[in-house]
Amino acid sequence: MKQQLINYETMLRITKAISHSKDPEEIALLTTESVKTALEAKGCALFLFNRKTNELELAASFGLSDEYINKGPVSALRSIAASLVDGPVAIYDVTDDPRIQYPDEAKKEGIASILAVPIVVGGVLMGAMRVYTDKPWEFTLGDVNFVQALAQIAGAAINMARYIKGLKSSIDVLKTMQEVQARKSTRRTPYEGVPVSVSTAATGKKDKKK
């Protein structure tokens, strides 16, 4: 019941943030931080699908090192590809699963298990969200549904931003987000680069290891 309450509160916080913000970067950052905190996982990342390159391009992450984030291009055809076609995929052991594109880098990062869910808006694949744990984790149906729901909320928000800004695709939104971030002050909060407006909405709880 306690975990269900935490997940419910997380859902409320994110939907409230979406209703008050049209900034896709803020929504993406808040979503990854909230999922990571609610599940007490190692990290979380949100990717957008680039149809021209067949790659998943990082939109936001929380809890992961710069070295792991910059490990190389994430191929939609090689990196847990089934999660983009068949639905959520849970990887129990990243060191012994052929669906992992960068097993050595994952091991070095201290990642044990991964949950990957697709982000589909209007019947069109927009991207994916992934949750990373530092211990072998058997994800429950509740975990999967929670992550999938927040992934869809974030995807819908980014899609809305696409229309509001008159952009052609979610990748255009991603490029805009990156340009805005590059122009922002280098000032950072303890929330690993999350804007102040987002960090104040966070729970304030210290990270816990699962």
**pTM for the predicted model, two decimal places:** 0.76
Domain residue ranges in the chain? 2-199
Q: Please answer whether residues 58 and 28 qualify as being in contact, where contact means their C-beta atoms are separated by less than 8 angstroms.
A: no
Is the domain defined by 2-199 classed in CATH 3.30.450.40? yes
Average pLDDT value for residue range 105-111: 96
Q: Mind listing the pLDDT tens digit for each residue in 125-145?
A: 999 999 999 999 999 998 999
Q: DSSP code of 21?
A: -
Which tokens go with 90?
Answer: 């849970």
Helix axes 141-164, 170-183, angle to 10 degrees: 80
The pLDDT value given to residue 170: 63
Report yes or no: 116 and 80 within 8 Å, Cβ to Cβ.
yes
Asked if 44 contacts 32 with a C-beta cutoff of 8 angstroms, the reply is yes
The per-residue pLDDT for 6 is 59
pLDDT of residue 15: 75
pLDDT at 85 over 50: yes
